[in-house]
Structure 1
């Protein structure tokens, strides 16, 4: 019955699903098949080079990441959806250029996107199921072995660019992706069959830590997003001065991308900046006690790194800031914090300012 319905009116069904997705706040939906052979080869080469660093989960689960039918048996199509997240707030470059400010990646200034997008995907899946009366659906938001950008490229939502992010020619790259795996043989959308980066390499040139091995290839071990979020231990002293005031993530390669002039502001109120984190002083954040940190990051993706790494990252940024008595005093107060990781980075920061641990 499903095959007959889709054969006769599959296009109309996809159009209806797109309308429901728009009602739920998604900006775009594409349908792809599950052939990721080309991307699987790239992933295996990337992992073999060790570019994943401590993200060992990138190599876990065997081939389930690149073969959707192995992750969810019966899957033959993937719905990939885009939700814009760029909100009003302090101008990003102005924050980056002020060494007294703390730069936090724009995607994490509001509510944790995992929760919001996953809920909307589940609502969409339920609506499809209720409409058809059957079918299998499994929703994912950066929470399982899924090649999100590869599926999005195959679904025609954009191209994987030189900075390894997905770029949409009408919306830039300031958006989240989510997927619904299904056994419905829906008609697929034309894949993105060309990349539109041209000779531009602004993203490669701007990277503070030279994390790009070349176009389309990122060594995560040097990426500030990886270092401030995924990396759990001591950060290489050679990289610390290059991190500037970036304390959670890095948007440099997006900020300079010409295609982001087409980025659309989000309509989601939950993605609006909270607690002034789009324009906060380093010292203010460094002086938060753990209770304040927990309260101010509740429901935020900032929770991922924990309070210890929060202090580690801020200590580096303060070490890179212009010397002042206030900075030295704040660092000295943290010098005996009961964490070797924090102590190490505070000591480094004090040395940068020519100050001693009091």
Structure 2
């Protein structure tokens, strides 16, 4: 398989960048993950401690795996919600990225099968399986892993979704991995984290606003609640502070256009919302993951500033 043909096809399907890395066993990344789990930094995300061997070795996910194809999809928009309304992270402005990216990845995999002339064995992944997405993106030459643990692309910044195809295809050449770290001595992301959840290249999910507003099933700890401000779904503080995101440009994905209800609903609007209206307004939205009851929990008290 030719890397150039892959890149051209990926761009035609709407991906902003694409690279490919040869399959390898990620022992170093597995050991770092286990140290993170041992500290309890995964909080209530028990799934992070499962299938560790599959994260380490892609061949356990796809038999005979030879390549890891990685795509980036920009989701940045300079548009922000109206003032004084509850704040969501930018990635949740539009349609759920899992749905959008999976459809595109399936089409890219179909292209690979057509070009190779054989029944390619492959699987598509979008942030919902035991895959070290950020490390594979780095190995596919798409950027480096910043101090906030997110992938930073020199052209797009960090407001990008990562899509992965693990396949048994072998390529005639592979992307050059990004061995450099262009964060330098910058610590703006670490210093910008409202709750102190960030240390260089590590996140303590117990303190992370994103974890607590989306995945935390119990009550949000007071120490986090006090620092949330207007946020009720996710947090972009570390990305907003990153100098590389000063280069971010408007995305070109129609499905990611902001939901107009989301952009203007105030706290009272949310608390008065019923399930039927929520389903109508936010069907296929990332907000459907925690659901309306949990959203109301996040908004149950006036924000502490």
Counterpart of 1:115 in structure 2 is 99
Where does residue 182 of structure 1 map in the other structure? 167
Q: Mark the structure with the bigger radius of gyration.
A: 1
Native 8 Å contact 1:89 1:278 kept in 2: no
- Take 1:38 and 1:133, find their aligned partners in 2: how far apart are those partners? 36
Counterpart for residue 23 of structure 1: 12
| Contact 2:30/2:52, CA 8 A, preserved across alignment | no
- Paired position in structure 1 for 2:281: 296
Aligned-partner SS, 1:270: helix
Q: Is the 8 A contact 1:158 1:169 kept in 2?
A: yes
Compare the two structures and name the one with the higher helix fraction. 1
C-alpha separation in 2, matches of 1:14 and 1:65: 25
1:198 maps onto 2:188 in alignment: no
Hey, what does 1:47 align to over in structure 2? 37
Distance of aligned partners of 1:230 and 1:263 in 2 relative to their CA distance in 1, 3 Å threshold: same
Greater Cα offset, 267-276 or 21-30: 267-276
Q: CA deviation at 1:87?
A: 2.7
Per-residue CA deviation, residues 22-64 of structure 1 (Å, 9 max, x unaligned), is 0110011111122222212211111111110111101111310
Corresponding position of 1:349: none
| Counterpart residue number, 2:244 | 259
1:124 to 95, 105, 108: 108
Q: Which moved more, 1:68-77 or 1:245-254?
A: 68-77
The 1:265/1:57 distance shift into structure 2, 3 A limit, reads same
Alignment length, in residue pairs?
A: 302
Q: Distance in 2 between matches of 1:267 and 1:102?
A: 25
- The match for 1:169 is 154
Asked whether the 8 Å contact 2:62–2:122 carries over to 1, the reply is: no
Whole-angstrom CA distance in 2 between matches of 1:238 and 1:90? 26
For residues 222-262 of structure 1, the C-alpha deviation after alignment (integer angstroms, 9 at most, x for no partner) is 00000000111111122211111101000000001000011
1:74 to 35, 54, 64: 64
Q: How does 1:148-159 map to 2 (within 5 A)?
A: 148-159=133-144
Give yes or no for contact 1:90–1:279 (8 Å, CA) kept in 2. no
Paired residue for 1:275?
A: 260
CA contact (8 A) 1:106 1:278 kept: no
Distance 1:88 1:202, change over 3 A: closer
Residues of 2 paired with 1:279 and 1:223: CA distance?
A: 25
TM-score, length of structure 2 as denominator length = 0.95
Aligned to 1:287: 272
Out of 118-127 and 33-42, give the one that drifted further: 33-42
Structure 2 unaligned residues grouped into runs of 5+: none
In the alignment, is the contact (CA less than 8 A) between 1:140 and 1:180 conserved in 2? yes
Question: RMSD in angstroms over aligned alpha carbons?
Answer: 1.4
Q: Secondary structure at the match of 1:232?
A: coil
CA deviation string 1:291-317 (max 9, x = no partner): 22121110101100012111011124x
Structure 1: unaligned runs, 5 residues or longer: 1-9, 322-358
TM-score (norm 1): 0.81
> Which is worse superposed, 276-285 or 42-51?
276-285
Conserved 8 A contact 2:62-2:168: no
